[in-house]
Amino acid sequence: MNLPKILFYTFLFICSAFIGCNSKKQQTQTNKYSIPELNIATSEIDQNPKDPNRWINRAVIFSKNNMYNESVADIATAMKIDSMNVDYHHLLADVYLKMANSVLR
């Protein structure tokens, strides 16, 4: 089996684990982070937690700050709200790739 197939099946497994098993609502808290952009994104989520774009915006900020687990959790939440958005799936794959690359370095 080649590496792309292994990564693809690993991605599918992890996606199903995050989406299928995580039934708790993600709690947010304002001014929880030392990064101002994260606090702004968190307050936006608090204002409208059913908007998947707000979760994705915070996930991107997490990813840029090498906070991959938090990014994955936010993407999973956005995917629960709008599971048909292909961009969310692509972003999740990108975050997993960044996470793997950070471990291998």
Residue boundaries of the structural domains of the chain: 30-104
CATH number of 30-104: 1.25.40.10
Q: What is the dihedral of CA 65, 71, 72, 77, to 10 degrees?
A: 180
> Quick check: pTM over 0.85?
no
Q: What is the dihedral of CA 44, 15, 87, 41, to 10 degrees?
A: 10
Other C-beta atoms lying within 10 Å of the C-beta of residue 41: 23
Per-residue pLDDT of the chain (105 residues; tens, 9 = 90+): 576 667 666 766 676 666 655 544 444 455 788 899 999 999 999 999 999 999 999 999 999 999 999 999 999 999 999 999 999 999 999 999 999 999 888
- Cα–Cα distance, 42 to 30 (Å, whole number): 6
- 81: CB partners within 8 A, 6+ apart: 50, 51, 52, 55
